[in-house]
Chain A
Amino acid sequence: MSFLPYAVAAWLLLIGLYGVVTSRHLVHLIVCLTVVQSSSYVLLLAIGYRTGAEAPIYKDIPPETPVVDPVVQALTLTDVVVEATVAALLLALAVQAQKRFGTVDPDEIATLKG
C-alpha cells in the first residue's frame, strides 16, 4: 500500500487549517473547513483500500474474492452526511452575519472580546 493517500490526507489537513486560520471571508473559511474534512475521507478510504480488490458487493462475484473494506466506506458516507449538515449550518450563519453585520470578514465579526 502506497503512502501517497496518507500524504494527501495530511496535506489536505494542513492546507485546510492554514486556510481557516488566515481566511478573510466566511464563505472561504467554510470551504477551507470542508477541505479539512475531505482529509478524513481520504484517510478513511485509504485505510480500507486493498490493491486489486473488488467493490464490496457480493451479488455477482464469488464469496472468496478479496474486496475493499466496506466498513470505512460506510463511515465515510456517514461523515459526508454529518459534514454536509455542518457546512449548511455554517453557511446559514454566514448569511445571517451578512444580514446583521453587512460583512463576512471574520475580523469585523469578532465582537466577543476579552
Chain B
Amino acid sequence: MAVLTALPVGLPLLVAAALAATATLVRLRRVADVLAIATALAVTVICVVLLVRSTEETMVYWFGGWQPRDGIALGISFTIDPVSAGLAAFAGLLMSAALIVSWRHFGSVGQVFHALMLVFLAALVGFALSGDLFNMFVFFELMSISAIVLTGYEIDERPAINGSLNFAITNTIGGFLVLSGVALIYGRTGALNLAQIGETLAQGTPDGLVIVAFTLMVAGFFVKSAVVPFHFWLADAYAVAPTSVCILFAGVMSELGLYAVARIYWTAFSGVLGPHEVELQVILVGVGIVTALLGAVMCFLQHQLKRLLAFANVSFVGLFLIGIGLLTSEGLAGTAVYVLGDGLVKASLFVCVGILQHQHGRLDEMSLRGLGRDLPFTGLVFVVGGLALASLPPFGTFLGKSMLKEAALEQGYAWVLVLATLASILIGGAVLRVAGRVFLGWDPETTPDRLSEQADQDTEAEMENEPEMEKARNRTPKFLFVPALGLLLMGLAVGLVPGLAEAAQEAAARFLDHHSYIATVLYDLPTEGGQPAGTTHTYTTSDFLYAVVSTGGAIALALLTLFSHRLPQRTKRRSLAAVWEAGSYRLRALHSGHPGDYVAWLTLGVAVLGVLLALTLR
C-alpha cells in the first residue's frame, strides 16, 4: 500500500527520464506515445485506488519512514484524502486524454514532449497529494517550469515566445510569494508539515506575521489559478499553447491553485483565523465575483478561440473561488463537482478548437466564418459544450451549480447567484456565437473591431508562414473527434452518477475537519469518518429556473450578437453601443501582453489583498 502512495509521482518521473534520455537514440514515435499514455492511465488507476481507499480513512505516507514522534514531524508526507486523491485522479484522466489528442495532432512532437507532459503530470499529482508546505512549493515550481516549456513548445511562432515569457515571469514571482510565505511560517512554527503548522498556529493569535504569510501564500496560489488581478498571463499562455496542453491547463492547473488555498487554509490557518471567518468569507467571495464577471466579459469580447476559452476559464475560477470562499463543506463539495463537470466540458471544447486549428490552420473566429461547415459533428459537440458551460441540465456543471447555489443561499449570498448566472450567460453566449459564426456561417457582415483586427493580422501573417500548419491542413483529423465526444460525455456523466453529490459532501466534510487531520497525520489516530451525508441532494424548481435563464440567455445573447445588424438602428441604442465599445476597448487594452504591466498588476493585487486581510483579520 505504501509503495502505491508514492507511485503516481515516481512512475511518471521515471518514465519521463527514460524517454528524455533515449530521445536522441531512438526515434520510435509510437512507442513513446503508447508508453506515455500507458503511464498516464496507470497513474489514473492508482489514484482511483487511492481515492477508494481514502474514503474510509485518510492515508499518510512518510517518505523514508520518518514518522512523527510526539507530534513533531521531521519527515515529509503525502496526505491522501478523497479530495486530494480525486484531484490527482482527475489530473491523470485529463493527461491521458491530452496525450491521446496529441497522438496525431502535430507532426513535430518528439519524445521530449512526452517526457515534459509526464513531468507535468507528476508535478500536478505531487502537488495535490503533498502534506508538506515546502514540497507544495517544489511541485508548484515543477508544474510551472514544465508548463512553461509546454506552452512555448511551438517556439518558432512569435506569439508563443510572448505567451510563455509572460507565463514564466508572473509565475516565477508567484512561486517566490509562496516561498516567502512558507519561510515566514517556518520561522514562526518551526514546521513545514501542514498539520503541525496548524497545531502550532492555533495556539497563537492572528498577528502581523501570520497575516503577511497567509497573504503571500494565497497571492502566490492566486497567480497560478489566475484570479483577478493575477490572471493576465493565463490568456496569453492558453492562446499559444498546443491544444493538448490547454486541456490540462483549463481542466486542472488553475483548480489546483485554488485547491492549495483551500488546503492551507483548512489545515494550517483555520485554527488561528477561524474567529474571523465571516470577514475572510466576504473577501474571498468578493474577489471571486470580480474574477467571474471580468473573465466572462473578456471571454465575450474575444475572437481568438483559445483566448476566448481561456477567459471562460478565468470566469469559472472566480465561481470556484466563491464556492471555496463560502468556507463551508457544502460550498467546497459543490465546487468539487463543478470542477469535474466544467473541466471535462472545457477540455472537450478545446479539442474542438484544436480540430478547427488542425483543419484550417487558424484560430480567429472572423476568419473561420463558415469554414466549420464541413465539420458538422464537431460543431454539434461545440454547441452542446457551450450550453453545458451555461449549466444545461443534466450536465455536471448543472449539478455543481445547483450545489453551489444551495451553499450560497445557506450563507446568505443569494445575490451572488444573479451575478454567477450573468457570467454563465456571457460565457455560453460567447461560445454559441462562435458556433453560429464558424460552423453555420451566420453573420456575414460584421467587421472585426480595431484591436482584434490588428492582433489578428499579426497572428494571421504568422500562421501563413507556418509550414507545419500548411501540412496539417491536408489531413482530416477524424480521430480527434473521439476524445472531444468522449470528454463531453464524461462531463455529462458527472451530472448523472448517482451518489456523487453525497460522496462530495462527505469528502468536503473530511477536508474541513482539521482536528481529525492533525490527529491522523501527527498522532497516527484513525480518522473519524466524515459526518455522514445527512441529506441527499435533490434538485429544486429554482435550479431548473436558473438553468433555463442561463442557457436561454446564452442562446438569446448569441443570436442577438450574430443578427444585431438586422435589427432597426436607434440613436439610443447606438450611444449605448458606443459606451460598451469604449469600455470594452479600455478593458482589453489593459491586457497588453507586456510582462512588466502584468507584474505591476500582480504587485498591486498583493498589496490590496494584504491591506484587506490586515484590516479585517486582526
Contact = CB atoms under 8 A, between A and B. Distances in A.
Contacts of A17: 173, 599, 603
B162 A78 contact: no
Contacts of A113: 451, 454-455, 588-589, 591-593
A39 B600 CA distance: 18
Given A43-B183, A100-B161, A75 B134 contact: yes
Nearest to B584: A114
A20 B595 contact: yes
Contact of A109 (B156, B162, B173, B597): B162
B239 to A, nearest CB: 6
A10 to B, nearest CB: 10
A22 B175 CA distance: 21
B155 interface: yes
Contacts of A109: 158, 161-162, 165, 593
A51 interface: no
A75 B180 CA distance: 11
B208 to A, nearest CB: 12
A112 B164 contact: no
A68 interface: no
B595 A111 contact: no
Interface string B458-498: 11000000000000000000000000000000000000000
Interface in B68-106: none
A90 B168 contact: yes
Interface in B115-149: 134, 138, 141, 144-145, 148-149
Nearest to B591: A114
B192 A93 contact: no
Interface residues of A, number: 41
B168 A89 contact: yes
Contacts of A75: 134, 182-183, 186
Nearest to B595: A106
Interface string A73-114: 001001100110110011001101100110000110111111
B172 interface: yes
B293 interface: no
B148 A89 contact: yes
A33 B163 CA distance: 17
B186 A112 contact: no
- Among A26, A36, A72, A110, max chain B CB count under 10 A is at A110
B596 to A, nearest CB: 5
Interface residues of B, number: 57
B527 interface: no
B330 interface: no
A36 B169 CA distance: 11
B198 interface: no
Given A43-B183, A100-B161, A93 B166 contact: no
B145 A89 contact: yes
A59 to B, nearest CB: 20
A47 B145 contact: no
B176 A110 contact: no
Given A101-B161, A109-B161, A33 B169 contact: yes
Interface in B188-217: 192
A97 B162 CA distance: 8
B169 A90 contact: yes
B179 A40 contact: yes
Interface in A29-49: 29, 33, 36-37, 39-40, 43-44, 47
B169 A20 contact: yes
B186 A47 contact: yes
B385 to A, nearest CB: 24
A107 B183 contact: no
Contacts of A78: 134, 138
A36 B134 contact: no
Contacts, number: 139
A71 interface: yes
A94 B168 CA distance: 11
Contacts of B589: 113-114
B256 interface: no
Interface in B300-322: 301-302
B618 interface: no
A21 interface: yes
Contacts of B458: 111
Contacts of A96: 152, 155, 161
B172 A86 contact: yes
B454 to A, nearest CB: 8
B458 to A, nearest CB: 5
A112 B162 contact: yes
A106 B594 contact: yes
B452 interface: yes
B161 A37 contact: no
A109 B596 CA distance: 12
Contacts of B179: 40, 44, 79
B164 A93 contact: yes
Given A21-B599, A39-B180, A112-B240, A107 B594 contact: yes
A47 B162 contact: no
B187 interface: yes
B254 to A, nearest CB: 18
A6 to B, nearest CB: 10
A106 to B, nearest CB: 6
Contacts of B149: 89
Nearest to B452: A114
A72 B165 CA distance: 30
B159 interface: yes
B162 A40 contact: no
A50 B434 CA distance: 62
B158 A100 contact: yes
Contacts of A112: 159, 162-163, 166, 235-236, 239-240, 455, 593
Given A101-B161, A110-B162, 4 more contacts: A93-B152, A113-B591, A114-B455, A114-B588
Interface of A: 13, 17, 20-23, 26, 29, 33, 36-37, 39-40, 43-44, 47, 71-72, 75, 78-79, 82-83, 85-86, 89-90, 93-94, 96-97, 100-101, 106-107, 109-114
Q: Which 10 A-B pairs have the closest CB atoms?
A: A110-B593, A114-B588, A47-B187, A112-B593, A110-B594, A112-B236, A114-B451, A21-B596, A82-B141, A21-B600
Interface of B: 134, 138, 141, 144-145, 148-149, 152, 155-159, 161-166, 168-169, 172-173, 175-176, 179-180, 182-184, 186-187, 192, 235-236, 239-240, 301-302, 451-452, 454-455, 458-459, 588-589, 591-597, 599-600, 603
13 contacts: A47-B184, A71-B192, A75-B134, A75-B182, A78-B134, A78-B138, A86-B172, A90-B169, A101-B158, A106-B595, A107-B594, A112-B455, A114-B589
